[in-house]
Structure 1
């Protein structure tokens, strides 16, 4: 094998060069590139290397996806509407209403090149670790577990997109430029194996010097998420939407994979019982409390070196007039899903609810949505069209309105104590994996295993902590409906909704041939009028072919053994 040369951009290494006399040839290592043996001779370099690999999680922070601009995939679904009509800030709207924009020639929904670049770096790390690392065996195994945790996450995204992808387990495979796709089922098993290895070898807790690094609970949580996806596709896909020989998961294995998901979720729940994780009573504070015990795996930010722009992108305009970007806002479809405080379903058909729709709603509503009359940063939000700063603006009348096109603003994940985010940016953590999601995974997997009482227990644990009564669902069908509702509300704006609809194979129904809505609120003599208005100016499009995103044509040209997913 040819020796691999690794570039470490952030490592500061002292290069000692010994000169030989008498005109002998001297091989001088360049100061910006280091051979494997040089990298692995110093354990500090390994720390720098693996720390750098965690930057991959920033690719999808706050539910974004790199589609030219980092637009939120929730805006491809029914819960969020991006306000812009033009490419860039509005790319997600273009994709949501024109399925033809997703094709093998275009860059949209493309993570292939970036994903495989990261996989190569991780496999290089694993190769050097095995051959050259000068650390004890326990440390070596833990480093391998971390690298495989990150690799599993990268492959998880690739398989969510394409189903059947190339599996590369070691650096020797890169000597060949010809690689075939593996079956989707084998891909899910590969991802699960990486997370299972990580779960077996990572510690339950990290010390202060390693905050933000993967733990046993994070690995088990990602394993549960992985098996839930595999099981869902096994149950719902059944080769109805793509006839490629390598896509799909055997329906006969659905129950086995649901059991795997339930078992992995239970492992996290056991860790919670030991005091490692717990649900928060204050839902809003989860996303601004750096020390929340609901976070299983998160990215922390520290000003001024490491920050983000979530507040600048989503805060209502009154927070910084003329500067807030208001990328995306909640839809009425999401707002209407939040229950009443007593657990009753909200309905515009109920005269009392319709007359005062924002009163007596569940706590998550007030922690997630800014509505007309909401109290926020010492002012009252006014979304009536008469308000020039924060009032309703009809979608597509202005290309970049920078205000609500639905009558609502996002409250969740904003920092209520920050008024200087334009200059100093934001530092609230991004939580990639929460304990709430684990309970929802457990509830769904147990429902599919016909463990109704176990599913109810997991779901009710979450609902009760959110101030809601136990679910009334007592059969598998109604319980699954309750879980789908709960995921829509609990995980809103965290980047799950679009992918949930895909794995349930409901996207071609929910996201096709429809226009989502908002509420134009106008004052009347005795209150307000709430008019339902479209926030889309054309029908949404989701064709069945989109369940498997095409492989970029440039990758097919570079790899003669790689074939396009059938149908593209």
Structure 2
């Protein structure tokens, strides 16, 4: 309990500092030095500050798995999630690809991501100037903070395109920051992740998998290289993770995948860091429809998505549930909607199954089709499906790539916007989504820069189409 209070205290200091800087045009310059001296005057509080950043990921809209998260909003933009009620206009804008710059959920997505970035910058500045932290601790904290910063920028650049690259807590610099190019943002992401991979150890800092380590950084680097179509690097990096069967494994029981400290997990977030007495994940609370109080639920799976599963697919029976009152299907990867009992589920951020998909796609692009089939079959076999090596061993490259993306849809649905980002990066968003949405325009692949942010910063240009 004392440790929890201490972490909360440090987080409060950081967040009050952050809040004071949120509207740069209306406040005087904060005293950065005083805050740094308080938080980083010893190793214990510095470590607590990093834990506070992890906890903030459970609170921040973009990352918490809740109603304004990447998981929900990007799921609506794709073809796997839809709204239960068409009167929910702020959600419908994402579903119809008509997001208005004034949409409050879009603002929450953007601003909460930048709050995380601001906190990582504050920590990096604090440990750099502190004389009371050992070099080993300083290096480790740098690696963790830079990983979180890279992770956050990855979503910003994929959802909005070029965005301001904020690398300081100096409000005088940040208040009028213009947008940097996508190439510049991706270079920062790679640089930060490479540092994290170089300096972090192979073991998790605490019991469980809620702090990032070297393998977390390598796994995310594999994804980044996949998105950048650096196929050889993506294959090599994902192979490092897959080869480590001492730490990671594909769990045959689908109901065990999202449990706390799952061996399929590369990185998870514990719901106990959210600052409430609830011990369920936000994903469970958001997606599970109460048997009697369904009026509190807003989201369901699309009919076409549910129909895309083969009847024998174990993911359909274990990860999808049916609400008879509303006659709708909903994501059921997490089994607990509300609880204050002992924690049994953690929010999954990165897991091993994705690494098999990364390597399968990379191998296919490198014309190693048999290797790609083997990786895809590892996931299909776990799902109880016929192996591709048996059903279609001579499959053509283009058909195999389509199969990989289709399997990604069924495996990674309702997780961190994977489907939306896959449609965007493969250039198939228009082809697939304009069938269900005649209002689709190619500029819809990016969300608008929030109107209120542009009013505060005249150097923020708007995305095309808005």
The TM-score, its normalising length taken from structure 1, stands at 0.68
Q: Does 1:496 align with 2:466?
A: no
1:61-460 alignment runs, 5 A limit: 63-64=65-66, 66=68, 71-87=72-88, 91-97=90-96, 99-103=97-101, 105-110=102-107, 111-171=109-169, 174-175=172-173, 177-208=175-206, 211-231=209-229, 257-270=230-243, 272-273=244-245, 275-287=246-258, 289-302=259-272, 304=277, 306-308=279-281, 310-318=283-291, 321-322=292-293, 325-340=296-311, 361-371=312-322, 383=324, 390=325, 403-404=326-327, 407-415=328-336, 421=338, 428-460=345-377
Q: How many residues align?
A: 430
Residue pair 2:76, 2:94 contacting (<8 A) in 1 also:
no
The residue number in structure 2 matching 1:511 is 433
Residue pair 1:312, 1:326 contacting (<8 A) in 2 also:
no
**Gap change, CA 1:11 and 1:164, over 3 Å in 2:** closer
The residue number in structure 1 matching 2:27 is none
| Matched residue SS, 1:109 | helix
| Matched residue SS, 2:228 | helix
> Structure 1 CA distance, aligned partners of 2:13 and 2:278?
17
> Structure 2 CA distance, aligned partners of 1:305 and 1:315?
15
**Gap change, CA 1:142 and 1:312, over 3 Å in 2:** closer
The residue number in structure 1 matching 2:29 is none
Structure 1 residue 132, shift from structure 2 partner: 1.1
User: After superposition, what is the alpha-carbon deviation per residue over 1:425-460, rounded to whole angstroms, capped at 9, x for unaligned?
Assistant: 986211011100111111112222222222222212
| Matched residue SS, 2:165 | coil
The residue number in structure 2 matching 1:352 is none
> Structure 2 CA distance, aligned partners of 1:176 and 1:461?
46
Deviating above 6 A after TM superposition, structure 1's stretches of 4 or more consecutive aligned residues are: 422-426
> Structure 1 CA distance, aligned partners of 2:331 and 2:104?
28
Structure 1 residue 80, shift from structure 2 partner: 2.4
Q: Does 1:565 align with 2:456?
A: no
> Structure 1 CA distance, aligned partners of 2:451 and 2:381?
50
Residue pair 2:62, 2:110 contacting (<8 A) in 1 also:
no
Higher helix residue share: 2
| Matched residue SS, 2:138 | helix
User: After superposition, what is the alpha-carbon deviation per residue over 1:247-306, rounded to whole angstroms, capped at 9, x for unaligned?
Assistant: xxxxxxxxxx23222222122123x23x1100000112212x223200110112348355
| Structural RMSD (CA) | 3.1
Name which one, 1 or 2, has greater alpha-carbon Rg: 1
The residue number in structure 1 matching 2:22 is none
> Structure 1 CA distance, aligned partners of 2:251 and 2:218?
21
- Ranges in structure 2 where 5+ consecutive residues have no aligned partner: 1-8, 15-32
| Matched residue SS, 1:101 | coil
- Ranges in structure 1 where 5+ consecutive residues have no aligned partner: 1-6, 13-32, 232-256, 341-360, 372-380, 384-389, 391-402, 515-538
> Structure 1 CA distance, aligned partners of 2:64 and 2:152?
16
Residue pair 1:314, 1:326 contacting (<8 A) in 2 also:
yes
Residue pair 1:96, 1:540 contacting (<8 A) in 2 also:
no
Residue pair 2:147, 2:193 contacting (<8 A) in 1 also:
yes
Structure 1 residue 224, shift from structure 2 partner: 1.5
Structure 1 residue 490, shift from structure 2 partner: 0.8
| Matched residue SS, 1:469 | coil
Residue pair 2:168, 2:174 contacting (<8 A) in 1 also:
no
